[in-house]
């Protein structure tokens, strides 16, 4: 075999370079690998990063809108109790004079009830304190005053009267010092009063006078 033919056969046996599907270009003095045919002026990895970023942002926004529903985040019970303690330091004597037959203080946050350590109501008065709740206000009342709220007080028992298992819904304004009577207990009445409205919830006092 001649040298020319041998050289030609050697050339035929060499593997042909495979065509790459990617292109290396320089963007802002950096080497960037992107699919062939894509614009070299806008890096591919930046597109992916932006898509991931907005997916995360939208996902977090949806999560918080569903789980908080625009409400204040729930506070730890110790912070709520501290707020009640501060209030009692400044208004304890006043409240004792206003409700000489006893009172109970609770805080409601996102329709959850947080009882405080302050409860001097008579033992023969029983209320399902854990299930006190805010209920929807009639649209007509809401138009009259947007601050109007309705509180449902369930399962009231007062011995030895005929009050047993009674549920009462009362209306009052959601503002400090607002008062409403819940039910008549013989010659006295059980009242609800708002002591404070703050980010941790609404502090209510239920007292007898």
**pLDDT tens per residue, range 104-140:** 999 998 778 998 889 999 999 999 999 999 999 988 8
User: Quick one: pLDDT at residue 75?
Assistant: 54
71 pLDDT exceeds 90?
A: no
Phi then psi dihedrals of residue 187, to 5 deg:
-85, -10
| Ranges of each domain in the chain | 3-68, 77-208
Identify the bridge partners of residue 183 per DSSP, sorted by sequence position. 190
Nearest-Å Rg of the Cα atoms of the chain is 36
Mean pLDDT, the chain, rounded, equals 78
- DSSP code, position 71: P
Higher pLDDT, 154 or 51: 154
Pick from 84, 93, 119, 61: nearest CA to 200: 84
Phi then psi dihedrals of residue 96, to 5 deg:
-65, -35
41 pLDDT exceeds 70?
A: no
């Amino acid at each position: 075999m001649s040298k020319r033919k041998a050289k030609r056969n050697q050339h035929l046996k060499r593997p042909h370079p495979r065509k790459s599907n990617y292109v290396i270009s320089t963007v802002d003095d950096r080497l960037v690998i992107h699919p062939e045919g894509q614009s070299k002026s806008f890096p591919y990895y930046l597109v992916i990063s932006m898509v991931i970023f907005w997916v995360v942002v939208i996902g977090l926004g949806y999560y918080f809108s569903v789980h908080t529903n625009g409400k204040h985040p729930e506070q730890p019970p110790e912070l709520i109790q501290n707020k009640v303690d501060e209030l009692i330091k400044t208004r304890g004597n006043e409240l004792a004079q206003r409700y000489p037959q006893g009172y109970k203080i609770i805080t409601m946050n996102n329709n959850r009830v947080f009882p405080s350590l302050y409860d001097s109501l008579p033992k023969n008065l029983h209320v399902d304190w854990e299930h006190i709740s805010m209920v929807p206000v009639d649209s007509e009342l809401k138009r009259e005053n947007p601050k109007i709220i309705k509180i449902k007080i369930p399962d009231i028992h007062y011995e030895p009267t005929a009050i047993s298992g009674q549920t009462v819904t009362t209306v009052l304004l959601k503002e400090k010092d607002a008062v409403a009577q819940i039910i008549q207990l013989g010659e006295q009445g059980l009242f609800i009063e708002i002591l404070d409205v703050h980010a941790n919830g609404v502090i209510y006092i239920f007292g007898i006078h």
